[in-house]
Structures are given as structure tokens and as C-alpha cells.
Structure 1
Amino acid sequence: MLSGKCDCDTSCAIYGEDRNILFSCSKFSLVMII
């Protein structure tokens, strides 16, 4: 269940060059999973 501003499977992959976005999405997703 990944819900939020960024879909880590798609959006983050597209914007992977911006580590800030990737980190934020990963952290947000981790919180969502827990």
C-alpha cells in the first residue's frame, strides 16, 4: 500500500536524479508501510 505524493515505483524512478525527492519518497513510503 504505497499512497502519497510520490509513487516510489514510478515517479521516484523518473525523478531519481533528485536525491531529495527519492529520499523523501522512500522515507514517506517507509512510514506508510509501517
Structure 2
Amino acid sequence: MHKVILDWTASVIELFARLQSHHQHYTPAQSLG
């Protein structure tokens, strides 16, 4: 059970890391349109 939680947590962390790396390519003004 703990392994499943750790795998899920790792997936979420990776997802947030990807989102942050994508956001770095855009300025806040461009994000807001």
C-alpha cells in the first residue's frame, strides 16, 4: 500500500515539475492573454 502512495506522489511531483518548467517559458502577461 505504501509503495502505491509513493509512486502516486512521485507522479504528482513530476507533473508539477513539468508544469513549472512550461510556465517558465511564458511571461505572466502572456499567460493571462
Asked which structure has the greater CA Rg, the reply is 2
TM-score for the superposition, normalised by structure 1: 0.48
Q: Which of the pair is proportionally richer in helix?
A: 2
Question: Larger RCO: Structure 1 or Structure 2 (Cα < 8 Å, ≥ 6 residues apart)?
Answer: 1
